Structure 1
């Protein structure tokens, strides 16, 4: 895992160097760039390398193959050895043991369809010197970031937006992106915080003609929105097949020329990956969890129980408010566009201390989306009861509940006042019109809404698909990538293996979710390795005790950062209503820590990046 950069804009060598230095944390082992002559001018290619496979400098990037193919690549191709073997049979020769070289040979053999052969997480760009074009792609589920700026034949791309931002005087801040951020807590692709910078969407590839400036994107992988669940599958057969798939997905992600460990929270997903890592690894598995001193947030004892049972080399990382404050103040250096998932802070702390022992860490990400594990899927069951009532009756119930002081009742009222169950689910995911936000002047244009309204499957499967296409790539994957790369740690998730995703799509809902038993099939696989009683407890998220920290130790920081003068600088909000929400939080009348954190991040980002830049 690394950082990539490239540009047809004629930046000086010193400027390219500084652009790479800005994100040097993504790959501190080697910083290299080259400037190649094209028929139109100069192409700069740069790379921050975190050495994982083939540590020799021969695999440093930018990498050239057969003289006319040049590549910068971020990520891992887990099946590269199988692809390499096939290509060798076709006559291709290799001088390294890296996956980078295999991508180049695969491109020469299969052209733009080479991505169909890759199982991995990746963002790469190939300069095809003979054809004077750039070809690039992003992995199927958007595990790796890819930003780009396009203006005629001026094309610039990078792993993080800050590299493009540096020395670029043509950027304006997007008011639509701010509106999306205030609604969702993240900025969905294709948009970014700058109007002129876009994100490549997951499962997409592109061609850029260096001479004409033609830029074409193509979707090469997607969920099959019309695929119906296979009710002919036997549950025990499905459990066996899924276990085989996840075991292989775990095994291939353990391959590295550096130490590998596992993030172990003590929950279902991370415990399963740990168990399968122990099953397939030839060495004792190192595991890592985080511990908070605050009551109600420390679940490290559950991770320890799992570690004890599996006999891992376990490490518990202690986190307190001082660690949190340090990361809050430097948050936007690593998450260099607004991002409000507060679990990014404990994720960064976990990554920081894990990196002291290993260079790669496996995670349990994507278990909830694939196997219906979020609390909101259980909410759907309750919502369905209400949706069976006539709308006129639901409206009366909603009006009564909305007058109650508890915020939870107000949320329920908003949800059941929906016309359809799909609309109700969206409202349970985000509040489209909170009282502290100005009315939006933008259309809600997420193309991913289509995954929620397809009639091929039940609402549970459709909700999971919607989250696989939105929350997973735009929140979870962004959080994990930035948190781990901030400390030069590579994160790999077996449950994001596209084979696992595609198999989960075929399974009947009741294999994954039954009342009060979410992720049923994953649990039944896990219980073959770890005792069930360890997990007989409510599901917990990966949270940080911001509620109390904001009221106590970080109170002065919050009040100074979000005073009325600072709030007036934030577009799209009602400062008086926000001030009241902050006061209500401080006095214990309400729990508004998520709003406070969201506006802290945005305020700090605007303060650091918004000076002299127009908001349009």
Structure 2
């Protein structure tokens, strides 16, 4: 887990040092760069596999130079095959294996990798840059291609340094809907994200950029699993065991994030069988209704792990909020980023790698909103005029849930309703909210042989899991130089989940059915007989109490007027509705706080953290 950088612009060594120093937290173990006639390559290393300096980057393999962020989990098996084909290795790192695989298989080397990665290879013989981002989008990749120049980095702040970029107003609209800026855009007009499951080739002679998709979900359902439920459960258990096993390979201490829920408990249970001594970590809130740490402790006790429960209070929370945009270079409004940062901060005191349960809800239909959309789908069998009539009859009800239903049933189709649920159905505080609708994944809903649950699950894998969950965990863990690995995001598990019949995953309200039944082979079901709990902050309460003055100061009328794309008067009303206890408006308030803070950071200019940096030859 590291930070990468590269450019065809002939920046001075001092500027390169600054660009790498900005994200030194991504890789504090070594920083270096090379300056060739064609390209600059830079790297911040967090040493996980082969800690020797021989594996520092930029790394040279024959006529190739590479900068790489992430891990190739199956590199040992791949290395053995390549050695049989005559390739030799001087390190025990996965970085070298990527280079050899590229020489052996060309661009199709990507189909041989099981991992999380973003990398760029400088092929000096062909005078090209070849790069890629992993299938699930675990690792970030930003780039700027303008005229005859090409620059790339792990985080956009590196690109912005020493350059002038323009705020993308459309990206701001999309942020208000999704809570993040969806790929391939970024918050800056000049900067783009390489989409997950894509590769690129940049020709250094012609200065042309060619982007290709090398992986995607199977939306057709042509590869439907034909075995029995017991067959599926057996195969899923085998896949998860292998996925956990290959992610436990590290030359540094490793632990597990344990919330006490289905997904993280399954990962912890399997990991504890594969290693004699496992450390587990959970977050603890003092606020009633938010603290799930007692369930994590019960699971840890049953498994016999060394468990650490980390308390989250508003004093430490406010410190992280104030520094939020230093790590999240773009506006990012998932409030669970704060406890994730806190969890990462304290976990890093004990281990350098942590396994997580991310990916289970999206792949196996686990979110509560899936139940809601299934219920609403029945109403959407009615013609739109009838639904609009129903909405008009109940829209003035004092009951907030009925008001939301009135808005929901009046939307033209179930797909648009699902997307609008992310931004909050009541968007009267956003100017032209329809302009924030991202339609690049509309093809997912056009598949006729999939149920609504399968469609929204596919959509979440391509949007929410990629743009929200992966961004949250990458920035939060990297802020404290911690590597996070997600076994349930192994592309083999994702593909297998898409092949399963819906009732294997969702049956009569039983969500994640098959995943639970795999879990119950390791842990008693009695530990999980409770409603699903989200990983959320108690901002609803804090914004009305401890953080009330903080909110009112930072979102005063004068501050709101600096935020583009909002109706200031209506936004003030929404803030007051929350403070009075009339409605829960904390999601909207948090989006505003994050964007306001981010805009201030851009106006103030970002201080550069100086770090030791040695050019490598």
TM-score > 0.5, shorter chain as reference: yes
The answer to whether the 8 A contact 1:397-1:413 is kept is yes
Do structure 1's residue 142 and structure 2's residue 111 form an aligned pair? Answer: no
Residue 432 of structure 1: CA displacement? 6.6
Give distance in 1, aligned partners of 2:535 and 2:450. Answer: 30
Residue 610 of structure 1: CA displacement? 4.2
RMSD: 1.5
The answer to whether the 8 A contact 2:506-2:513 is kept is yes
Q: Give the aligned partner of residue 128 of structure 2.
A: 133
Do structure 1's residue 81 and structure 2's residue 79 form an aligned pair? Answer: no
Q: Give the aligned partner of residue 566 of structure 1.
A: 559
Q: Give the aligned partner of residue 152 of structure 1.
A: 147
Q: Give the aligned partner of residue 427 of structure 1.
A: 420
Write out aligned runs for 1:336-351 (5 A). Answer: 336-351=329-344
Q: Give the aligned partner of residue 103 of structure 1.
A: 98
Give distance in 2, aligned partners of 1:555 and 1:445. Answer: 33
Give distance in 2, aligned partners of 1:391 and 1:165. Answer: 47
Write out aligned runs for 1:234-253 (5 A). Answer: 234-253=228-247
Q: Give the aligned partner of residue 352 of structure 1.
A: 345
Give distance in 2, aligned partners of 1:405 and 1:475. Answer: 33
Give distance in 2, aligned partners of 1:125 and 1:490. Answer: 20
Give distance in 1, aligned partners of 2:89 and 2:226. Answer: 45
Q: Give the aligned partner of residue 183 of structure 2.
A: 189
Give distance in 1, aligned partners of 2:379 and 2:306. Answer: 49
The answer to whether the 8 A contact 1:422-1:453 is kept is no
Do structure 1's residue 308 and structure 2's residue 301 form an aligned pair? Answer: yes
Write out aligned runs for 1:37-56 (5 A). Answer: 37-38=37-38, 43-56=39-52
Q: Give the aligned partner of residue 403 of structure 1.
A: 396
Q: Give the aligned partner of residue 298 of structure 1.
A: 291
Q: Any idea what SS the aligned residue of 2:132 has?
A: strand
Q: 1:69 aligns with which of 55, 64, 67?
A: 64
Q: Give the aligned partner of residue 362 of structure 1.
A: 355
Q: Give the aligned partner of residue 387 of structure 2.
A: 394
**CA separation of 1:432 and 1:167: change in aligned 2, threshold 3 A:** farther
The answer to whether the 8 A contact 1:384-1:421 is kept is yes
Q: Any idea what SS the aligned residue of 1:551 has?
A: coil
- For residues 289-346 of structure 1, give each alpha carbon's deviation from its aligned partner in whole angstroms, at most 9, with x where no partner exists: 0001111110100000000111111110011010100000000000010000000000
Q: Give the aligned partner of residue 9 of structure 1.
A: 9
Residue 395 of structure 1: CA displacement? 1.9
Q: Give the aligned partner of residue 270 of structure 2.
A: 276
Write out aligned runs for 1:483-522 (5 A). Answer: 483-522=476-515
Q: 1:176 aligns with which of 163, 170, 184?
A: 170
The answer to whether the 8 A contact 2:507-2:513 is kept is yes
Q: Give the aligned partner of residue 606 of structure 1.
A: 599
The answer to whether the 8 A contact 1:183-1:432 is kept is no
Q: 1:59 aligns with which of 55, 62, 84?
A: 55
**Structure showing greater relative contact order (alpha-carbon pairs closer than 8 Å, 6 or more residues apart):** 2
Give distance in 2, aligned partners of 1:487 and 1:320. Answer: 19
Give distance in 2, aligned partners of 1:408 and 1:486. Answer: 38
Residue 457 of structure 1: CA displacement? 1.2
Q: Give the aligned partner of residue 536 of structure 2.
A: 543
The answer to whether the 8 A contact 2:115-2:134 is kept is yes
Q: Give the aligned partner of residue 107 of structure 2.
A: 112
Residue 532 of structure 1: CA displacement? 0.7
Do structure 1's residue 93 and structure 2's residue 92 form an aligned pair? Answer: no
**CA separation of 1:433 and 1:589: change in aligned 2, threshold 3 A:** closer
5+ residue gaps, structure 2: 607-617
Q: Any idea what SS the aligned residue of 1:37 has?
A: coil
Q: Any idea what SS the aligned residue of 1:393 has?
A: helix
Give distance in 1, aligned partners of 2:107 and 2:488. Answer: 26
Give distance in 2, aligned partners of 1:516 and 1:478. Answer: 30
Give distance in 2, aligned partners of 1:262 and 1:445. Answer: 35
Give distance in 1, aligned partners of 2:416 and 2:137. Answer: 26
5+ residue gaps, structure 1: none
Give distance in 2, aligned partners of 1:73 and 1:429. Answer: 33
**CA separation of 1:587 and 1:357: change in aligned 2, threshold 3 A:** same
Q: Give the TM-score normalised by structure 2.
A: 0.96
Give distance in 1, aligned partners of 2:322 and 2:513. Answer: 40
Residue 433 of structure 1: CA displacement? 6.4
Residue 231 of structure 1: CA displacement? 6.1
Give distance in 2, aligned partners of 1:498 and 1:395. Answer: 41
- For residues 558-600 of structure 1, give each alpha carbon's deviation from its aligned partner in whole angstroms, at most 9, with x where no partner exists: 1110000000000100111111111111111111111111000
Do structure 1's residue 19 and structure 2's residue 19 form an aligned pair? Answer: yes
Give distance in 1, aligned partners of 2:300 and 2:394. Answer: 45
Q: Give the aligned partner of residue 611 of structure 2.
A: none
